[in-house]
Amino acid sequence: MEKELLALYAAERARLHAMACGNGRSGEYEAPVFGEGPMGPRLMLIGEAPGAEEAQFGHPFVGRAGKTLDALLDGAGIVRENIFVTNAVKFRPINIKARSISNRTPTPKELRESLPLLERELLLVRPQMIATLGNTPLRAMFLLAGADPVSIGDAHGHLWPLTIRSMPLAVFPLYHPASVLYRPSLLPVLEMDVKHLGSILNKTEEAGS
């Protein structure tokens, strides 16, 4: 992985460590999960934030949502090793109760504070296309592009041309793979959208070869 990207991740690790030392108890700041994959890929996938398994093992999308994601990619002929996978927020946001710890959506402030890293990550990785998983990374991309936000319900399954720091980006919003775990009726929609994404990637590959 490129040195500059590793330096970026090291700086984020230090920022989160400082938050942990400040007794911030709303995230797993000591177990951040960073992006993985080749530089200059055809596709970059952006999720919301790591969950428990991701924080435990230090890799994005290795838990239950990751298994669903892998099956969706397989079904669309997209090889995970060829794409860059990351999250909008690099630490696991949590709710702490007396007897349990659970995942939660990152707050608007947490997302805002994560945007500079995501922007630099995009500029260094330079993907040809981006697929966002769920509302949080979709919002992140529109915020970075200075564009009015769109909801996942309206935006999914279509290409949205955005420009971030003069870099033109084709953004393809998808529902989050975890959403089908509690809303099974979304599964056929998500399957169709990922297949559509796979066919766009195939077409651009054929056109480029």
* Binding footprint of ligand URA on the chain (CB under 6 A): 47-51, 54, 60-61, 63, 65-66, 87, 133, 178
What is the nearest approach in angstroms of ligand URA to the Cβ of residue 207? 31
Give the nearer residue to ligand URA in terms of CB position, either 67 or 112: 67
As a whole number of angstroms, the distance between CA 53 and CA 73 comes to 20
As a whole number of angstroms, the distance between CA 86 and CA 46 comes to 5
What is the nearest approach in angstroms of ligand URA to the Cβ of residue 84? 13
Give the nearer residue to ligand URA in terms of CB position, either 85 or 143: 85
Q: Which own/partner pairs from 50-53 qualify as long-range (CB within 8 Å, at least 24 positions apart)?
A: 50/87, 50/90, 50/91, 50/92, 51/92, 51/103, 51/178, 52/92, 52/101, 52/103
Give the nearer residue to ligand URA in terms of CB position, either 104 or 202: 104
Tokens 């955005």 -> residue: 162
In the complex, residue closest to ligand URA by CB = 47
Give the nearer residue to ligand URA in terms of CB position, either 42 or 176: 176
